[in-house]
Structure formats: C-alpha cells, structure tokens
Amino acid sequence: MPQPAPEAPDGAELLRAMRELEARVARIEERLNLGPAVPTPSLPERPVEPGVAILSESAGAVPVLGRALLGLAGAYVLRALTDSHTVPQSAGVWSGIFYAGFWLVKAARTPAGQRAKTAIYSLTSALILGPLLWEATLRMKVIGTGGAAAVLLAFTVFGLLLSWRKSLLIVATIAILTSILTAAALLIGSEDVVPFLFLLLAIAAAVEVSACLNHWLNERWLAAAAADLVVLLATYLVTNERGLPQGYAPIPLWALVAAQMSLPGIYLSSILVRTLLSGFTFTLFETAQIGVAFLLALGGGMQLGGDPRIVGVVAGVSIASAAATYGAAFRLKGRNQQTFAVVGLLLLLAGTRLVLPVTTVSAIWALLAVGLFAAVRSSLAWHGCLFLLSALVVSGALVEATACVLGAGAPRVVHAMLLGQLAAVLGCYGFLLRRRFPWRIPTVVLPGTAIWIAMAIAATVLSMPAPAAFQAVLRTATLATGAILLAWGAKDWKRREFVPLVYLAMVLDAYRLLAVDLHQESKVAIVLSLLVYGAALMLIPRLLQSELGPLESGPGA
C-alpha cells in the first residue's frame, strides 16, 4: 500500500522555523566573534520622471476629488434642509459658512507636498462659500451686505493664518481670490458699493501685512488690482455727470474720501516697513502701485468738487506722505533712496500747490531749492533744480522773461517776483559751484536760467525810456551782449558749460532779428540791429576759439 503524502506545513510553522534559524545563526556569529555583515551595495535609485510624478499625483487626486464632491453634496443637503425650513435659515446659513471653513482647515492640514489635494480642498471651500453668500445676501436676505463683507474678510484672514505655518501659497491665493470675486459679484448684484469698497481695501491691507513678514509676495497684485479698481469705480459713480445709476445705494462723500486716502496709506506704510525695517529693495510692483495709488487718491479727490475741506484733506495727506518719503530717502541709499525721493518730490509739489496761492507756493519752492542745494548730498540735490524750475514755471517768471527778451510790445515793469526768482537761481548756482556734483544738467540749466532772467531785467530797464522805434534794437543788443558775456566767461572762467548757452543765445537773437527787428518802420533801427548782431557774430567765435586748455566738465573746475 502506498504511503500517504506528508502534509505541507502551514504559514505559521514556516515563520516559526525561520525565526529559530535566525536565532541559531545569531548565536553562532556571537560565539565566533564575527562582526556585522557587510551590507550589500544598493543600486542608485533612478530619478522619477516628471511625467511619471504628475501622473502619480493625478492618480492620487482621484479619490480626493471624490471626497470633495461628497463635500459639495453635503453643502447641497444643508441648503435643501434650509429651503424646506427643516433648519432655520440663519442657522443653515451660518452652518454652511462654518462648513466652508472646515474644508479650508482640511486643505491647510494637508501635507505640504500634496499640492493637488490642497488645491482641491481649497476650491471645495470656495465653491461652498461663494454661492452660499450670494443666496444668503440677495435671495434669502439673511445677511446684509455689511455682514457678507465681514464674512469674506474673516474668510480671507482665516485662510492667510491657516496657510502661515507651512507657507501654503495655494490656500492663501484661493482664499484671497474667492473673497475678491464674491465681493465683486455681490457689489454688482446688491448695488451697494461702500461695504465691498472697504472690504477690498481691508483685504489689500491684510495682504500687505503678510508681505511685510515676507509671505506671499507674488500674489500681492491680486489684492492691489482689486482695491485700485473698486476705488476707481466708486469715484466714477460719484463724479460722473449722470450720477449714481438708479437703484444704487448712496455713497457718502466721507466714505469715498476715506477710501481714496486709505489706498496710498496702505501701500506707503507697507513699503516704508519693508525698506526701512526689513531692508528690502523697491520692487517694480511697489513702484507702479504707489504711483497708481497716489494718482487715484489725489486725482480722484480733486474730482469731488471744490469743497475746501476735501482739498485740505487731499493736500494734507499729500504733504504728510511727502514728509515720510523724504525722511526715508535721507536714511537710505541707492535705488530705494532715488525712488523715495522722486515720490516725495511729486507729492510735495502736488500738496503745496493745492492749498497755497501761486505767489506763496513759488516762493516756498524757490527757498526749498536753495536749501536742497545748500544742505543735502549730491544724489538728492537735483531735486533742488526741479523745485527751482517748478517755481519759475508756476510763478510765470520764465514766461515774463521770455516776453521781455523776445517780445515786441512795450516793456513791462520789473516785478519783485522776477528779482526774487533771479536771487534764488543765483543762490542755487553759488552752492552748486562749491560742490563737485557728478551730473552736468544743472551746470547748464542754472546759469542759463540766471542769464535769461538777467537779460530780461536789463532789456526792460534799458528800453523803458527809449523811443518805441529803438526798443527792439536795445533788446536785440541785450541778448547779443549776454551771448558775448557767456563766451567771455567760458574763456576766462574756464566754463565749458557756457558754450552751448552761447550758441542758444545767438539762435534766439537771430529769431528775434528776423521776427521783430526787420519788421520795424525805422530803417535806422533795422540797420543798428543788424550791426549789433553782426558784431556779436564776429566777436564770439574769436572768444570761443581762444586756447582754453584742458577743462573739467564739472562746476568745481
């Protein structure tokens, strides 16, 4: 009879036998004092291809997407219970808001490497909150527009705080974008601008606080663009000729002014903190945004009418901002200094011009120009040149000087304003000569402006007692004399910067000769004008062709 085959050992017996064998081998190695076995060299791991990684992540996102769909289904169930009055409307709405927050928390708790999962959960939260607030605000009337704005602000701040620890940009971006888009939809649907105007400004402020702490710098433009557009929209709705569209809630003037002034305040404060305290450099976004913010604030504020209180507020904000930016410019160097200085210059010009009369503001600008040339470092002294030119333009000194030199009418009385501006120009040029500045434009502009005003004064004084037929001759002679003096100064004072001014003066004198002098009725006056101009043409080239030697181009030569 054949013997029955032995039964195969089960898995438990095999496992027990392997453990006994491992224990025996360990005891033998211990008795023989053998060291640990040399590990077998492992083959280097092959890098995962990008396509394989994306495919793997996408495959892992499928069940996540299923859970998100279940979450949306739960939101619809809650809505159905609310619509059927099984759950009170207010309770259902607030439960839905907290339900959206739950999904945002779930997104923030996702491991940092699982980007698709984080994005899906964040989008689920957004898809729950946006339609919910629309229904609760516009259809159910459970929440007012102010309450909806408060919920969106809380949602944004909540998203920023949740994403802080892991620097989850996806969570922060989706929270910001959800609030901005929902606010835009509710603004249009409810026809109530003010709550969402301040909401978007508050979101911009929250994002800038994060930027000051070096978080989410790439997404600042979202909040900035939304804030700019809503301020522009509110300004247009108030200031356009047709007024607010029918059905829109009134926009108080104080609210619009506060919003306009808050916009530059938010970004100027952020930039000051980032540059002065954190040491960051001005970015292209910050440069553009601060310009847009002040343009909307100052331009929009002046569009609100001639109310002196509004003008005072706009001017006060402008001057205070100019003081802050100039103060920062004196503490910084390089690009930050130049950017702050330009912003301060423009703001100070705008603010003082809004509230001061022309005579006063031109005098203040001229004094500021002299002070800047006298006191500040060379990298900021060119601001003195711009202040001086602004004073000359606003006061009308350049226009009056041009009329005195090139005009054909009766000479005007020399105003004290013209003498004061000449004194300011000479003062600036005097301080310029004491310093060695690395730029050349003021070395031409300042003496050119001084000689132009001086020629205007001289032409007026000389031609006032003369007969009308010879007034043109005296003005032409004055301009030719100024060109000769400049050529002599270029030769004896070693000032090469006077040479282009000589040619410019002779060109203008030729224009005067052709446009005015040759049209005089007195032939004697015409002959005298030609003689004067011809003599200048003969003398000036001799002065300029003299040996000048190697001259320094700067004012300190």
Cβ pair 97, 151 in contact under 8 A: yes
**Interacting residues of 17 by C-beta distance below 8 A, sequence separation 6+:** 9
Q: Please, what is the end-to-end C-alpha distance for the chain in angstroms?
A: 129
* C-alpha to C-alpha distances, 122 to 288, 371, 415, 545, nearest whole angstrom: 31, 57, 71, 79
Closest residue by Cα to residue 416 from 355, 366, 345, 488: 366
What is the residue type of 163? S
Identify whether 171 is part of a domain: yes
What angle, 0 to 180 degrees and rounded to 10, lies between the N-to-C axes of helices 397-406 and 441-463?
60
Residue 211 pLDDT more than 60?
yes
Distance of CA 365 to the CA centre of its chain: 25
Identify whether 537 is part of a domain: no
Residues in the chain: 557
Q: What is the pLDDT of residues 390-413, one digit of tens each?
A: 999 998 888 888 888 888 776 666
Q: What is the pLDDT of residues 88-111, one digit of tens each?
A: 888 888 988 998 999 899 888 887
Identify whether 87 is part of a domain: yes
Q: How far apart are CA 220 and CA 176, in angstroms?
A: 10
**Interacting residues of 367 by C-beta distance below 8 A, sequence separation 6+:** 424
* C-alpha to C-alpha distances, 53 to 46, 50, 58, 113, nearest whole angstrom: 13, 5, 8, 12
Task: Work out the percent of the chain whose per-residue pLDDT is above 90.
Answer: 34
Total Cβ atoms within 10 A of residue 23: 10
Q: What is the pLDDT of residues 423-438, one digit of tens each?
A: 999 998 888 887 766 5
Tokens of 337: 């200094």
Task: Determine the longest span between alpha carbons in the chain, in angstroms.
Answer: 159
Identify whether 100 is part of a domain: yes
What is the residue type of 528? L
* C-alpha to C-alpha distances, 197 to 151, 156, 183, 190, 532, nearest whole angstrom: 14, 15, 9, 13, 69
Residue 62 pLDDT more than 80?
no
Tokens of 135: 């229904």
Identify whether 377 is part of a domain: no
User: Coil, helix or strand for 340?
Assistant: helix
Identify whether 78 is part of a domain: yes
Number of folded domains in the chain?
Answer: 1
Identify whether 160 is part of a domain: yes
pTM for this model (two decimals): 0.73
Q: What range defines the domain where residue 150 resides? A: 61-190
- DSSP E strands in 117-158: the ranges are none
Q: What is the pLDDT of residues 146-178, one digit of tens each?
A: 999 999 999 999 999 988 877 788 888 999 999
Q: What is the pLDDT of residues 461-502, one digit of tens each?
A: 888 888 877 888 999 999 999 999 999 988 888 888 899 999
Identify whether 76 is part of a domain: yes
Q: Which helix (H) or strand (E) holds 491?
A: helix 468-492
Tokens of 142: 């459970």
